[in-house]
């Protein structure tokens, strides 16, 4: 699985994206884009992000997570050709690199925050390098724009499957409480840290629902329709260096299907 993930996430994939693009054009005629793909970004570069967004805007309909939810929770399929942009972790680069693009292009995004980062608590995960998170000031500015919605990505970004029942409850309920209090907005959407099927359980979904969450996103590639479980929404992870060809390849799940990490 690690090699599969490396293929999907490495820069080498950009070359594959360019080489496979003519095949993709044929594939798209036979299998048109269906369902809604939710894209997952973490740490964007402004130039690359802008080129992806411009390309997506031209070819798809970028809708807000709220609009998607309105259709979805009423048992209706979201509009044709729609895609959603989300960010996990709430890194500073969302404000510095992506937000100016969002304002220029007027596109809606969803950002899942780790509540400990809002409270200034130190966290060690992913790597030992210093990670900069969004400040409350950044969040307020983004809220004011009305293009940015927020959700929870737990308190400490620990893998839920490694925690006790009590700790999991605290991560799920506690983060909701802290984020709501700090940003003054109701939080109903959740993102599982790491997001693979082995990183959470059905018990966690029950805790989520009881806590008042309406949706949860995972990190497993696939499309979403009215039949998808609202607490198991599929997402496609886009690396910070991935080009627009790779993004389009991912939207159709071509490569994911080949290596078996795509759940329709």
- Residue 4 exposure: Cα atoms within 13 Å on the Cβ side: 11
| Nearest by Cα to 245 from 11, 93, 17, 80 | 17
Look up residue 221 and give its two tokens. Answer: 């590639």
User: Among the candidate windows 67-75, 125-133, 190-198, 250-258, which touches Zn ion by CB under 5 A?
Assistant: 190-198
User: Among the candidate windows 30-38, 52-60, 81-89, 200-208, which touches Zn ion by CB under 5 A?
Assistant: 81-89
User: Among the candidate windows 50-58, 68-76, 82-90, 228-236, which touches Zn ion by CB under 5 A?
Assistant: 82-90
Q: Please, what's the b/e burial string for 170-192 (b: 16 or more CB within 10 A of its CB; e: otherwise)?
A: bbbbbbbebbbeebeeebbbbbb
- Residue 172 CB, shortest distance to Zn ion, in Å, is 14
Residue 43 interacts with Zn ion (CB under 5 A)? no
- Residue 57 CB, shortest distance to Zn ion, in Å, is 26
Number of residues forming the site for Zn ion (CB under 5 A): 3
Number of H helices, E strands in the chain: 12, 8
- Reported for 207-210, long-range contacts at CB under 8 A and 24+ positions apart, including other chains, are 207/168, 207/169, 207/172, 207/173, 208/172
Tokens 């939810």: give the residue.
69
Q: For residues 168 and 180, what is the distance between their CA atoms, to the nearest angstrom?
A: 18
- Residue 193 CB, shortest distance to Zn ion, in Å, is 5
The closest residue (CB) to Zn ion is: 88
- Which is closer to Zn ion, CB of 193 or CB of 239? 193
- Which is closer to Zn ion, CB of 154 or CB of 228? 154
- Residue 153 CB, shortest distance to Zn ion, in Å, is 6
Residue 88 interacts with Zn ion (CB under 5 A)? yes
- Residue 159 CB, shortest distance to Zn ion, in Å, is 10
- Which is closer to Zn ion, CB of 89 or CB of 248? 89
CA 186 to chain centre: 19
Residue 171 interacts with Zn ion (CB under 5 A)? no
The footprint of Zn ion (CB under 5 A) covers: 88-89, 193
């Amino acid at each position: 699985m690690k090699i599969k993930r490396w293929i999907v996430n490495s820069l080498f994939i950009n070359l594959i994206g360019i080489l496979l693009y003519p095949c993709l054009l044929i594939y798209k005629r036979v299998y048109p884009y269906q369902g809604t793909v939710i894209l997952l970004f973490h740490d964007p570069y402004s130039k690359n992000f802008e080129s992806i967004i411009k390309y997506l805007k031209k070819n798809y309909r970028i809708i807000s997570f709220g609009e998607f939810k309105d259709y979805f929770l009423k048992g209706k399929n979201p509009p044709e050709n729609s895609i959603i942009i989300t960010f996990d972790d709430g890194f500073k680069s969302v404000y510095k690199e992506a937000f100016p693009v969002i304002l220029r292009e007027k596109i809606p995004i969803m950002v899942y925050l780790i509540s400990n980062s809002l409270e200034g608590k130190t966290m060690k995960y992913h790597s030992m390098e210093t990670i900069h998170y969004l400040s409350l000031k950044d969040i307020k500015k983004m809220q004011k724009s009305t293009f940015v919605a927020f959700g929870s990505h737990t308190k400490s970004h620990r893998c839920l499957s490694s925690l006790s029942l009590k700790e999991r409850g605290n991560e799920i309920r506690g983060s909701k409480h802290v984020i709501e209090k700090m940003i003054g907005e109701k939080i109903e959407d959740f993102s599982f840290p790491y997001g693979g099927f082995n990183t959470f359980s059905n018990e966690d979904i029950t805790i989520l629902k009881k806590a008042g969450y309406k949706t949860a996103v995972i990190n497993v590639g696939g499309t979403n329709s009215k039949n998808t479980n609202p607490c198991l929404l599929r997402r496609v992870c886009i690396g910070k260096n991935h080009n627009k060809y790779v993004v389009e390849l991912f939207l159709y799940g071509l490569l994911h299907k080949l290596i078996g990490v795509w759940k329709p």
